[in-house]
Structure 1
Amino acid sequence: MALFGKQSAKSYLGVDIGSGGFKLVELQNDKGRAKLVTYAFTERGPEEMAANPLDTPEVTADLVKSMVARSKARSRRAVSALPVAGVFSSILSVPAAAGKELKAAIEIQAKKLIPIPLEEMILDWKVLGEVSSAPKGPAPAGNPAGKWTQVLLTGAPKKLVQKYIDVAKRAGLELISLETEAFALIRSLVGRDRATTMIVDIGAVRTNIILVENGIPYLSRSIDLGGLSFTKAIGNALGASLSAAEQMKADVGALSAILPERGVPKVLEPLMANLGNEMRYLVNLFSSQRPGAASVEKVVVTGGSALLPRVTDYLQEVLGVKAYLGDPWARVIYPTELRPQLEIIGPRFAVAVGLAMRDIE
Structure 2
Amino acid sequence: MKFGSKSIRSKSIIGLDMDSKEIRAVELKGSKKKPTVTAWGRINLPEGVVKDGRIIQLDKFSDQLSQFLLENSFKTRDVILGVNNQDVIIRFASFPKVPEDKIKSMIKFQAQDYIPIPLEEMELDYIILGEKNTEVGQYIDVVLVAARKRMLNDFILTFTDARLTINEIDTTMLALGRAALSQSSGGVFALVCFNYDIGNILIFKDTILGMARSVSISQSLNMPLLKDIHNKKNMEIIADILFNEIKASVSYYKSQTGYDIDKIFVLGPDSNQRLVASRLKDTTGLAVKVPEPYKYLEKHVLKQQKNMTFKATDYVASISLALRGLEV
Q: If the TM-score is normalised by the length of the shorter chain, which range does it land in?
A: 0.7 to 0.9
Assess, with a 3 A threshold, how the Cα gap between structure 1 residues 7 and 44 changes in structure 2: closer, same or farther.
closer
**Matching residue of 2:243:** 276
Aligned position for 1:68: 69
The answer on whether the counterparts of 1:16 and 1:352 sit within 8 Å (CA) in structure 2 is: yes
- The offset of 1:30, in angstroms, is 4.5
- 8 Å contact 2:304–2:310 — kept in the other structure? yes
Give the equivalent residue in structure 2 for 1:128: 129
Q: 1:352 aligns with which of 311, 318, 321?
A: 318
Runs of 5+ consecutive residues of structure 1 not aligned to the other structure: 140-145, 234-241, 256-264
Greater displacement, 194-203 / 17-26: 194-203
After superposition, the Cα gap between the structure-2 partners of 1:19 and 1:336, relative to the gap in structure 1 and judged at 3 Å, is same
User: What displacement does 1:325 show?
Assistant: 2.4
Amino acid at match of 1:207: G
Matches within 5 A, 1:129-278: 129-133=130-134, 139=136, 146-191=137-182, 193=184, 195=186, 196-226=188-218, 229=221, 232=224, 243=227, 246=228, 250=230, 272-278=239-245
Shift of 1:356: 0.8
How far apart, CA to CA, are the structure 1 residues paired with 2:15 and 2:273? Answer: 25
Task: Give the C-alpha shift of residue 86 in structure 1.
Answer: 2.0
Residue 34 of structure 1: how far off its partner (Å): 2.6
> Which residue does 1:81 correspond to in 2?
82
In angstroms, what is the RMSD of aligned CA positions? 3.3
More off after superposition, 185-194 vs 351-360: 185-194
Q: Deviations over 1:271-290 (max 9, x none)?
A: 64442121011112222333
Q: Which deviates more from structure 2 when the two are superposed, residues 62-71 or residues 207-216? A: 207-216
Secondary structure of 1:193 counterpart: coil
Long gaps (5+) in structure 2 = none
1:39 equivalent in structure 2: 40
- Greater Cα radius of gyration, structure 1 or 2: 1
Give the TM-score of the pair, scaled to structure 2: 0.84
Q: Which of 294, 297, 305 is the aligned partner of 1:329?
A: 294
Which SS does the other structure have where 1:75 is aligned? coil
CA contact (8 A) 2:177 2:202 kept: no
How far does residue 358 in structure 1 lie from its aligned partner after superposition?
0.8
Amino acid at match of 1:307: N
Give, in angstroms, the shift of residue 270 of structure 1.
6.3
Distance change in 2, residues 1:151/1:308 (3 Å): closer
SS at match of 1:58: helix
For the 8 Å contact 1:197–1:213, the answer to whether it is kept is yes
Residue 56 (1) aligns with residue 23 (2): no
**SS class of match (1:357):** helix
For 1:54-108, what per-residue CA distance to the aligned partner results, in whole angstroms no more than 9, with x for missing partners?
1211111111111221222221110101215321112221111124532343234
1:122 is displaced (CA, Å) by: 1.1
Tell me what 1:239 maps to: none
Q: Over residues 11-30 of structure 1, what are the superposed CA-to-partner deviations in whole Å (9 max), with x where a residue is unaligned? A: 21011132110011101235
Identify the residue that residue 143 of structure 1 maps to in structure 2: none
Corresponding residue pairs, total: 322
For residue 193 of structure 1, report the CA deviation from its aligned partner.
Answer: 3.1
